[in-house]
């Protein structure tokens, strides 16, 4: 029978925890025990004057001082190397037993000689009604499962006796069992040491029992066991320790053959778990997972020692432990449900009411409007006009244009593709049989998609169906969006369609990895289509990060940081190219086809139109609908929306109102700046940045602010005003949209039926199967100059455009050679120019057709060039085509220069990096059962929200 108990208290100074306060309470509790300990050893791991004084005041039997990095297992081993007592009580600075705890533990040990050790009921340090542990078990694959952790103590588990293991804190171990089992395993780094000791005791034919009447309060300082996850650093530490212990035990407990295989699989398993952690929305655990894997894999000697210790004591088969392990169904029962249900004080998410609230009808009405406004698109296979061009004929070519390497324009330009090419490739891949048709489908579905996006965006602002429908109408009929549709600006259309989904996801990114992952992907598309929005989004990102950091909880910063990571990875090659060439303006240039089109100028009148959300000097088409000078009142149609937005900071939800006005200010500021910045060249024409995408951002802020104001009207009298305000806003926006919606019928739209190729059909046929067919396109300029461009493949394409080429301001060696060859072609009959073209892989020369508004100087140059080209023996005239006059190079044409090994290596690196970051973001964005449950417990509306009158 145990007659004498030796208590060991391990103490470690730690500035993050009140070690002195905890130690005083623990020593006071030990002194107040009804059954006192017979010997007390205090082990100080690290020198500390205050802790040393507290320890000496307790008059222990022994005091030992060890180094600060001494683990709990080593500290206990040093304190128990020469004990004479019959039982050992393992304590720490944060284990305060109740007065009768030791009495019950000793009684249990005395009444059952087969027991190797007993464990108390562990409760929280400041709340004895909450359980910390009632024993520990494990799954078949070694996962640790703590019984009753976090539950309220209502005696529901007091009938449990036999357990597989226990939390190491406050267990009472027989001295002979302690010596036979070899003590605690230091290789576990402090985690699962009580579980491992219990497994060895069970295999040695001993028993382990829980004593519910013995209660000990614990704090989780981390001296014994895993530290409580009360800070990001402690969560990382706890995850590392726990995972290391699990991997170590898994190899130690396996049979010899399986142990070798398990040890070899540690690192591959870490790679697989990385994917699973991303899918489970736990990226913060990836670092601890890899550190644990490297730690467990790099200690084969520690594994050998642990296996030898286990083999020395094993007396019974592993099958004896099966009843004490937790099964898969039991694990799902414990972790798959919310015990106790949801708290009624937690706001719960209401039904979306998409069908009953009018959202579905809104989308159907928008689809009908689109068909009526753009009926010809239903029969067009390719969409042309404005900044539109056909896409590649195959999906593989689409993605080739989106990769780093040789561009499809220019002599032999090796540069990063615009990220917008990836967006184009993604869209074109939706109709792989004819990628260009995807743009036509996008145009037809643009209005219903915008209405759907506006409706869902409103769900983050209001629960009221009438306001959500108003938001859908206002977003789908926004003047900047309709202008982009009518003028044929794909980048602006894509930005407008993506912005509401970005708002929907990013507004909850701080509280959800699903939202952060989705928002990070959408942000790539938005910035790729309109790089000039990047400064505004960086400013919003900084403000959001600061708000999250200074929130009371302080959590979510890592999710906000992630928002910009995919965008940074996709733009990294272009940023590196800009640094290498010293041309940073390329990063702001509008991607896609360089086309000026109608837009406002950077004067007072133009900025006034921008302030009204109108990006064109024709006042969104009203000057073509009404006689000149009678459309002055049209910008006033946005006044109701603007006034409601300005009133948002004065409402009860002032914080949301201010945030949305900041979005508006950044959008307008970007638009004002854009019209004054010209970095793109279309042959000899300089083109300013398109302000419409920035106006879409401003429109989002204004619309959101107006919804906040209308939603905050709670008094019965104001509710009628709210409905009236929604109607007024909707009618004003509908009236503003009339010219754009009728532009196709009136013949004022820039859209037209596009061709499958921008080159003659003769070249398109050859280039369909050979992307290395080269064509030199010569275009006479209005001032008498000549523009020369190389096109590879069967056509210029939307995804094949490059801002690297369209923003060049200094001539490269290739540019100078191209200019020299073009001049020789149109001014002399020397065959050297043709031989040089053939040597570079150029098979055709195209003199572009007259656009119908040719100047005399351009006409004279065209006649001179035609005469010169017809006189060359090495050129064969194909004839006049719809795209211009075409000649074929008769001389032997060399193959286009293959990309260098360095270029191919860079292509691979860029592709792998981008695929990896997209894969991570997709895994984060995919919702799981756990994230759906969490989402249902959080309000859909973001920001302070009052439930009165609902």
Q: What mean pLDDT is predicted for residues 100-129? A: 93
Between 367 and 18, name the one with better pLDDT: 367
Q: What mean pLDDT is predicted for residues 461-483? A: 95
Instruction: Give 810's contacts (C-beta < 8 A, 6+ positions apart).
Output: none
Between 428 and 939, name the one with better pLDDT: 428
Residue ranges of the alpha helices (H) in 598-749? Answer: 604-611, 622-625, 639-646, 654-674, 692-711, 716-741, 743-746
Closest CA to 460 of 512, 423, 496: 512
Closest CA to 78 of 21, 1, 10, 146: 10
List pLDDT tens digits, range 286-345: 999 999 999 999 999 999 999 999 999 999 999 999 999 888 777 766 554 433 333 334
Q: What mean pLDDT is predicted for residues 875-884? A: 88
Residue 143 DSSP code: -
Residue 427: its pLDDT value, please? 96
Between 882 and 388, name the one with better pLDDT: 388
Question: Is residue 554 over pLDDT 80?
Answer: no
Closest CA to 392 of 367, 360, 427: 427
Q: What mean pLDDT is predicted for residues 112-140? A: 92
List pLDDT tens digits, range 639-698: 999 999 999 998 888 889 999 999 999 999 999 999 989 888 887 788 999 999 999 999
Residue 308: its pLDDT value, please? 95
Say how far apart CA 464 and CA 950 lie, in whole Å.
10
Residue 783: its pLDDT value, please? 80
C-beta separation of 473 from 454 below 8 A: yes
Closest CA to 60 of 99, 30, 83, 92: 30
β-sheet bridge partners, residue 844: 775, 888
β-sheet bridge partners, residue 63: 42
Residue 709: its pLDDT value, please? 92
- pLDDT bin (cut points 50, 70, 90) of residue 527 is very high
What is the pTM assigned to this prediction? 0.86
Considering the chain, what is the average pLDDT of its residues? 89
Q: What mean pLDDT is predicted for residues 443-464? A: 95
List pLDDT tens digits, range 771-827: 889 999 998 888 888 888 999 998 999 999 999 988 887 777 788 888 888 888 888
Residue 949: its pLDDT value, please? 31
- Count CA atoms closer than 13 A to 34's CA, side-chain side: 11
Residue 798: its pLDDT value, please? 94
Residue 713: its pLDDT value, please? 64
Residue 231 DSSP code: S
Residue 627: its pLDDT value, please? 73
Q: What mean pLDDT is predicted for residues 359-375? A: 95
Say how far apart CA 818 and CA 806 lie, in whole Å.
15
State the DSSP H helix or E strand holding residue 137, giving kind and residue range, or none if neither: strand 136-138
Structure tokens at 577: 């190219």
List pLDDT tens digits, range 190-216: 899 999 999 999 999 999 999 999 999
List pLDDT tens digits, range 748-773: 999 999 988 999 988 988 888 788 89
Q: What mean pLDDT is predicted for residues 541-568? A: 87
Question: 887 φ, ψ to 5°?
Answer: -125, 145
β-sheet bridge partners, residue 879: 886
C-beta separation of 597 from 689 below 8 A: no
Question: Is residue 7 over pLDDT 70?
Answer: yes
Closest CA to 475 of 509, 499, 510: 499
- Please work out, in degrees rounded to the nearest 5, the angle formed at the alpha carbon of residue 489 by the alpha carbons of 484 and 494: 85
Say how far apart CA 688 and CA 680 lie, in whole Å.
7
| Percent of the chain residues past pLDDT 90, beyond the cut | 61
């Amino acid at each position: 029978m145990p007659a004498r108990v030796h208590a060991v208290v391990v103490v470690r100074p730690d500035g993050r925890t009140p070690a002195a306060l905890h130690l005083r309470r623990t020593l006071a509790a030990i002194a107040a025990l009804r059954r006192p300990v017979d010997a007390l050893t205090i082990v100080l791991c690290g020198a500390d004057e205050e802790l040393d004084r507290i320890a000496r005041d307790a008059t222990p039997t022994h005091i030992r001082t060890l180094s600060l990095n001494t683990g709990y297992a080593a500290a206990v081993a040093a304190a128990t190397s020469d004990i004479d007592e019959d039982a050992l009580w393992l304590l720490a600075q944060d284990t305060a037993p109740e007065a009768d705890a030791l009495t019950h533990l000793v009684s249990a040990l005395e009444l059952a000689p087969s027991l190797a050790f007993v464990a108390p009921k562990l409760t929280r340090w400041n709340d004895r009604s909450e359980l910390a542990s009632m024993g520990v078990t494990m799954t078949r694959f070694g996962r640790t499962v703590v019984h009753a952790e976090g539950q309220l103590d209502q005696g529901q588990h007091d009938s449990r006796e036999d357990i597989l293991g226990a939390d190491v804190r406050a267990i009472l171990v027989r001295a002979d069992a302690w010596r036979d089992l070899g003590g605690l395993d230091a290789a576990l780094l402090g985690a699962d040491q009580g579980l491992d000791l219990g497994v060895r005791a069970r295999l040695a034919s001993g028993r382990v029992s829980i004593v519910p009447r013995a209660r000990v309060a614990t704090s989780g300082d981390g001296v014994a066991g895993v530290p409580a996850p009360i800070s990001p650093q402690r969560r990382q530490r706890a995850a590392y320790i726990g995972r290391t212990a699990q991997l170590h035990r898994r190899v130690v407990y396996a049979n010899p053959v399986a142990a070798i295989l398990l040890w070899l699989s540690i690192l591959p398993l870490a790679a697989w778990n990385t994917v699973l952690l991303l899918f489970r929305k736990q990226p913060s655990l990836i670092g601890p997972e890899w550190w644990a894997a490297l730690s467990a894999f790099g200690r084969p000697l520690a594994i050998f020692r642990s296996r030898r210790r286990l083999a020395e004591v094993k007396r019974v088969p592993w099958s004896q432990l099966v009843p004490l392990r937790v099964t898969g169904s039991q694990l799902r029962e414990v972790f798959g449900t919310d015990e106790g249900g949801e708290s009624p004080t937690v706001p719960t998410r209401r039904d979306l009411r998409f069908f009953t609230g009018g959202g579905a009808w809104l989308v159907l009405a928008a689809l009908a409007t689109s068909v009526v406004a753009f009926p010809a698109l239903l029969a067009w296979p390719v969409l042309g006009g404005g900044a539109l061009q056909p896409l590649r004929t195959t999906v593989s070519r689409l993605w080739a244009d989106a990769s780093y390497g040789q561009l499809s324009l220019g002599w032999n330009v090796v540069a990063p593709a615009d990220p917008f090419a990836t967006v184009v490739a993604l869209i074109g891949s939706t109709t792989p049989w004819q990628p260009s048709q995807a743009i036509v489908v996008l145009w037809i579905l643009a209005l219903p998609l915008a209405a759907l996006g506006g409706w869902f965006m409103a769900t983050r602002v209001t629960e009221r169906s009438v306001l959500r429908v108003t938001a859908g109408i206002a977003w789908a009929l926004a003047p900047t969006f309709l202008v982009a549709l009518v003028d044929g600006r794909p980048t602006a259309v894509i930005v407008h369609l993506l912005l509401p989904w970005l708002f929907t996801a990013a507004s909850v990114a701080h509280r959800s990895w699903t939202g952060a992952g989705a928002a990070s992907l959408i942000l790539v598309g938005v910035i790729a289509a309109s790089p000039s929005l990047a400064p505004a989004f960086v400013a919003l990102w900084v403000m959001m990060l600061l708000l999250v950091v200074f929130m009371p909880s302080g959590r979510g910063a890592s999710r906000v940081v992630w928002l910009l990571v995919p965008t940074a990875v996709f733009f990294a090659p272009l940023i590196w190219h800009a640094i290498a060439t010293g041309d940073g303006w390329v990063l702001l240039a509008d991607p896609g086809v360089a086309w000026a089109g109608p837009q406002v100028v950077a004067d007072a009148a133009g900025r006034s139109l921008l302030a009204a959300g109108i990006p064109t000097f024709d006042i969104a088409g009203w000057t073509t609908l009404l006689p000149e000078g009678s459309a002055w009142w049209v910008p006033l149609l946005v006044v109701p929306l603007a006034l409601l937005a300005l009133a948002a900071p004065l409402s009860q939800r002032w914080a949301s109102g201010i945030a949305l006005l900041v979005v508006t200010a950044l959008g307008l500021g970007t638009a004002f700046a854009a019209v004054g910045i010209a970095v793109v060249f279309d042959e000899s024409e300089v083109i300013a940045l398109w302000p419409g995408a920035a106006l879409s951002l401003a429109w989002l802020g204004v619309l959101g602010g107006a919804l906040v104001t209308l939603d905050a009207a709670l008094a019965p009298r104001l509710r009628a005003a709210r409905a009236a305000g929604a109607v007024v806003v909707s009618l004003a926006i509908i009236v503003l949209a009339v010219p754009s919606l009728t532009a196709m019928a009136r013949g004022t739209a820039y859209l037209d039926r596009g061709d499958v190729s921008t080159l003659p059909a003769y070249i398109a046929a050859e280039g369909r199967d050979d992307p290395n067919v080269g064509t030199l396109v010569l275009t006479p300029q209005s001032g008498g100059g000549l523009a020369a461009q190389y096109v590879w493949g069967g056509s210029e394409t939307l995804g094949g455009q490059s801002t690297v080429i369209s923003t060049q301001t200094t001539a490269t060696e290739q540019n100078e050679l191209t200019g020299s060859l073009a001049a020789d072609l149109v001014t002399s009959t020397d065959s050297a120019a043709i031989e040089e073209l053939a040597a570079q892989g150029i098979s055709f020369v195209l003199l572009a057709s007259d656009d119908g508004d040719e100047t005399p100087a351009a006409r004279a140059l065209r006649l001179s060039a035609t005469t010169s080209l017809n006189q060359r023996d090495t050129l064969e005239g194909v004839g006049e085509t719809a795209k211009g006059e075409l000649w074929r190079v008769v001389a032997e044409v060399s193959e286009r220069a293959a990309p260098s090994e360095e270029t191919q290596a860079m292509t691979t690196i860029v592709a792998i990096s981008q695929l990896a970051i997209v894969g991570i973001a997709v895994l984060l964005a995919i919702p799981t059962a756990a994230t759906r449950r969490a989402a249902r417990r959080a309000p859909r509306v973001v920001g302070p929200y009052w439930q009165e009158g609902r």
